[in-house]
Structure 1
């Protein structure tokens, strides 16, 4: 977070504390070790939030990571430490991972990393990318990605399903008789 910005207070502080509580040092360390296995960087793979932020904040390592998946995913990696150049790197990474198959709900916003708003979502994005790594001949991370399970039903099976009355329609069993809107229940 920028050192010139006031801290959060009230409900915003509570919301930020809830977001920060989701962060897991072990999973972050596993993620950094996976990045190191693929790219050769970073030297420090400690999983604490401050280290993760320091390693990833300029976006260069993230861009090098996606370029290992598919050469040229990020054509220009900015080496400048100027804020907008670093955020361009992070944004280029995010665009590249979406093209590599990471679902948009598992990505993060640039500001989540740049201002250390939600490092948990950064780790979730990297974990999702780690599941995709096997598809690109790289070491994968995390649980194996599920496979498609398509079911084919015959015309007879589909017609038989139309005759079943769903429990969502309700039934008349167990209802209290004599009670309607506006009447009082006699006890």
Structure 2
């Protein structure tokens, strides 16, 4: 586990510090309160890094959570504290949330939680799952899910749009020769 690893140094330490700086205790507390409202656990909903890690590291609470969304999402929850069993729980949770509609880019890797590498991404995943909760009749957290806004255009409207020149192509207003960068090279 994380406490037996050597500390990171150099650029790796800087990268880890940058990842750790994104973590927000208030959002983590809100997330743990939301989990408690659905599952009845954990008792301590403090948002500090160590508490979040202790509550979620074995993956059993995460598996219980997704089973509240859809019964049987995780068929076998390992109660063992052996490393590979806990990591199986976390992996089963990740597979289940993808099926529940959490985008892959908002999930985390098993090692992020198990080795306490990136708890910020764990909270992001849980917040994303929290947005989906309303679709399953459960209390939700975070911003409301966006609704689809499909637009239908006629062929005439599509052809008219092809004649419009986008400003993304640039402009030379004010200069006849286009945009010039810096001074000319003197020879």
> TM-score scaled to structure 1, two decimals?
0.91
Gaps of 5+ in 2: 178-183
Distance 1:42 1:173, change over 3 A: closer
Residue 181 (structure 1) aligns with: none
Distance 1:32 1:170, change over 3 A: closer
Residue 143 (structure 1) aligns with: 143
Write the mapping of 1:139-178 to structure 2, written as runs, cut at 5 A.
139-170=139-170, 173-175=173-175
Residue 84 (structure 2) aligns with: 84
Alpha-carbon distance between aligned partners in 2 of 1:52 and 1:120, rounded to the nearest angstrom: 10
Residue 180 (structure 2) aligns with: none
Gaps of 5+ in 1: 178-183
Deviations 1:20-71 (A, max 9, x none): 0000000000000000000000000000000000000000000000000000
Runs of 4+ in 1 over 4 A off after TM superposition: 170-177
Alpha-carbon distance between aligned partners in 1 of 2:148 and 2:170, rounded to the nearest angstrom: 34
Residue 45 (structure 1) aligns with: 45
Residue 111 (structure 2) aligns with: 111
Following TM superposition, by how much is the alpha carbon of 1:155 offset from its aligned partner in structure 2, in angstroms? 1.1
Residue 133 (structure 2) aligns with: 133
